[in-house]
Amino acid sequence: MTSGPRDHPIVEQIPHLRRYARALIGDRTMAEDLVQDCLERAWSRLHLWREGSNLRTWLFTIMHNLHANAARSASRRPSTVPLDEPGAAAPTRAAQEDGLEVASIDAALAMLPDEQRQVILLVGLEGMSYQEAAAVLDVPIGTVMSRLHRGRERLRQILTGSGGTALRRVK
Amino acid sequence: MITRPISDDDIHAYVDGQLDPARRAAVETWLAENPEAAARAAFYARTNEALHQRFDHVLSEPVPAAMRTPRRRMFAELPRRAAVAASWLLVGLAGGWFAHMALGEPTVVERVVAVAPPMPAQAAVAHAAYASEVRHPVEVGADEEAHLVRWLTNRMGKPVKAPKLEAMGYRLMGGRLLPGSETGVACQFMYESANGTRVTLFIRTPNPGQSETAFRFATERNGISVFYWIDRNLAYALSANLPKDELKRLAREVYEQLNA
């Protein structure tokens, strides 16, 4: 242990963990709590991280597991309006040519299942390789690809009214 | 040259910049001839951009001090905690040897070493981690003692009790759930004296093959004294930075209350 906590490489990753959590959860307070929990766990388990291995993947894995646990216990009690069902607030159709407005990305993301949103954000926002995303989510890379495809197509369908559920991924 | 047909995976990998140059060129050429796919690729790329436009501002938000230093006391103790971690192997080997001497069953020794750190070491590490905690020493406080005991009993799958040590000068602060061994979880009750000395009672299921024992005493490398024993299918360890005799007095009281 040569470096103190302030200049530990974990500190560099904090803004990224926060950005991902904010995009994943939407609610700012809940996102910040998730990051806080993740960091407490990471600092206390630092001895389990192998120096030289991928710190970012390790941290995101911790956060993913915490989020999954929280989602599991939340699913035991009935939630309010499931976002994926009719009746949930639909984002306003964007005026832009390609149908994608920054303001509507939140609402569209919220309509995706967690597993699709996670992949889209890890890859598209955090810039992870497909291998890294597969490691964080502990799924095969093929699963990452199919979730990415379904999620992005769903977004396209929501935001432009095109695409459609019938569209299948071409292998 | 025969090239692999372009798949949806290629389109995504193209957008995400995860193709090697040759494949990227092939996909680019193909997209030029397939406007529908090109439109999708453009949409995916625009999605990525929109995510950045929408969420990149979080990157420049000042990081709260609580995140950089989530547990102040723990940082102060980082070097010591690292030493504790590093000594686990040694402690594990020593503990395994000890278990070997005590039980004379090599298979159990192997399990003890491979599966979980020996009981006193595990208890001492848990004690070091939480007894020094200022803000969150316990998960559930003594004000919810009934709930705490019910919850831990449920999670442990065996009845656990929080002994009453007020008469000995220690009040219950509360408790928490902890990782145990492959056979189950563990838990910890924490007590505090008027002068702030903290004592923890660590409880878990014994490793397979371990049966009831008398009191045993260990001094872990971080100076924490531990009395431990196995009784009625649960293993107990009482840990504190206290002289052996003082801790033994408490351990006897705990043992008697649990057997009452």
ipTM of the predicted structure? 0.81
Mean of the per-residue pLDDT values for chain B? Answer: 80
Please tell me the distance from the alpha carbon of residue B188 to that of residue B71, in angstroms, as a whole number.
19
Lowest mean pLDDT among A63-77, A87-101, B235-249: A87-101
Judge: B59–A36 Cβ closer than 8 Å, yes or no: no
What kind of architecture, by CATH, is found in domain A7-80? Answer: Orthogonal Bundle (1.10)
pLDDT at A98: 52
Please tell me the distance from the alpha carbon of residue A151 to that of residue A117, in angstroms, as a whole number.
7
Closest chain B residue to A124 measured between Cα atoms? B48
> What average pLDDT score do residues A106-133 get?
94
- Residue B2 is assigned to a structural domain of this protein: no
B89–A contact, CB cutoff 8 A: no
Count residue pairs from A and B with Cβ separation < 8 A.
116
> What average pLDDT score do residues A135-151 get?
96
Q: Which residues of B touch A145 (CB under 8 A)?
A: 8-9, 12
B149 and B230, same domain (yes or no): yes
pLDDT at B113: 36
Please tell me the distance from the alpha carbon of residue A66 to that of residue B137, in angstroms, as a whole number.
20
For tokens 């000995």, what's the residue? B168
B54 and B87, same domain (yes or no): no
Model confidence pLDDT, tens digit, residues A63-84? 999 998 877 666 554 433 333 3
Residue closest to A137 by CA, chosen among A155, A123, A150, A152: A123
Instruction: Yes or no: say if A102 and A108 are a contact pair by the CB < 8 Å rule.
Output: no
B37 and B100, same domain (yes or no): no
A94–B contact, CB cutoff 8 A: no
Please tell me the distance from the alpha carbon of residue B157 to that of residue B165, in angstroms, as a whole number.
24
pLDDT at A149: 97
- Domain C-terminal end among B19, B36, B58: B58
Where residue A103 falls among pLDDT bands split at 50, 70, 90? low
Where residue B217 falls among pLDDT bands split at 50, 70, 90? confident
- Please indicate whether residue A15 or residue B218 has the higher confidence score (pLDDT): A15
B46 and B142, same domain (yes or no): no
Q: Which residues of B touch A105 (CB under 8 A)?
A: 47, 50-51, 54
In chain A, residues 23-42 whose CB comes closer than 8 Å to chain B? 23, 32, 35-36, 39-40
Q: In 3-state terms, what secondary structure has residue B212? A: coil
> Which 8-state DSSP code applies to residue B243?
-
Judge: A15–B59 Cβ closer than 8 Å, yes or no: yes
Where residue B250 falls among pLDDT bands split at 50, 70, 90? very high
Instruction: Yes or no: say if B163 and B257 are a contact pair by the CB < 8 Å rule.
Output: yes
> What average pLDDT score do residues A27-43 get?
90
Q: From the CA of A63, how many Å to the nearest CA of chain B?
A: 14
B73–A contact, CB cutoff 8 A: no
B54 and B78, same domain (yes or no): no
Where residue A48 falls among pLDDT bands split at 50, 70, 90? confident
What is B21-48 written as a DSSP string?
A: HHHHHHHHHHHHH-HHHHHHHHHHHHHH
- Please indicate whether residue B8 or residue B260 has the higher confidence score (pLDDT): B8
Model confidence pLDDT, tens digit, residues B155-209? 888 889 999 999 999 999 999 999 887 667 899 999 998 888 899 999 998 876 6
B32 and B108, same domain (yes or no): no
Q: Which residues of B touch A40 (CB under 8 A)?
A: 70-71
B80 and B43, same domain (yes or no): no
B105 and B229, same domain (yes or no): yes
B43–A contact, CB cutoff 8 A: yes
pLDDT at B73: 42
pTM higher than the cut 0.80: no
Position B93 pLDDT exceeds 90: no
Please tell me the distance from the alpha carbon of residue A141 to that of residue A138, in angstroms, as a whole number.
9
B76–A contact, CB cutoff 8 A: no
Query: What is the percent of chain B where pLDDT is above 90?
Result: 44
Nearest residue, CB atoms, B52 vs list A43, A125, A170: A125
**Torsion region of B230: left, alpha or beta (phi above 0 gives left; psi -120 to 50 gives alpha):** beta
- Residue B134 is assigned to a structural domain of this protein: yes
Torsion of CA B247, B253, B257, B260, to 10 degrees: 140
Mean pLDDT: which of A2-11, A55-64, B91-100 is highest?
A55-64
- Domain residues for B126? 72-259
B222 and B100, same domain (yes or no): yes
Burial profile A64-81: b = 16 or more Cβ within 10 angstroms, e = fewer: bebbeeeeeeeeeeeeee
Q: Tell me, what CATH number does B212's domain have?
A: 3.30.200.100
Residues 6+ apart with CB under 8 A from B91: B117, B118, B121, B220, B221
Q: Which residues of A touch B12 (CB under 8 A)?
A: 145, 148-149, 152
B43 and B80, same domain (yes or no): no
Say how many domains are in chain B: 2
Q: At what angle do helices A55-76 and A9-25 cross, to 10 degrees?
A: 30
- Domain C-terminal end among B58, B80, B100: B58
Topology (CATH level 3) of domain A92-171: Arc Repressor Mutant, subunit A (1.10.10)
Q: Which residues of A touch B67 (CB under 8 A)?
A: 14, 35-36, 39
Query: What is the percent of chain A where pLDDT is above 70?
Result: 71
Please tell me the distance from the alpha carbon of residue B103 to that of residue B106, in angstroms, as a whole number.
8
For tokens 């595990």, what's the residue? B122
Position B35 pLDDT exceeds 60: yes
Mean of the per-residue pLDDT values for chain A? Answer: 79
Where residue A135 falls among pLDDT bands split at 50, 70, 90? very high
Position B149 pLDDT exceeds 90: yes
A106 φ/ψ angles, rounded to the nearest 5 degrees? -55, -55
- Tell me which of A41, A154, A156 to substitute to probe the interface with B (most B C-beta atoms closer than 10 Å): A156
B38 and B112, same domain (yes or no): no
B50 and B76, same domain (yes or no): no
- For residue B94, CA distances in Å to A98, B126, B188, B218 come to 67, 18, 24, 11
Domain locations along chain A: 7-80, 92-171
> What average pLDDT score do residues B37-53 get?
94
pLDDT at B70: 52
Closest chain A residue to B8 measured between Cα atoms? A170
What is B109-132 written as a DSSP string?
A: HHHHHHHS--HHHHHHHHHHHHHT
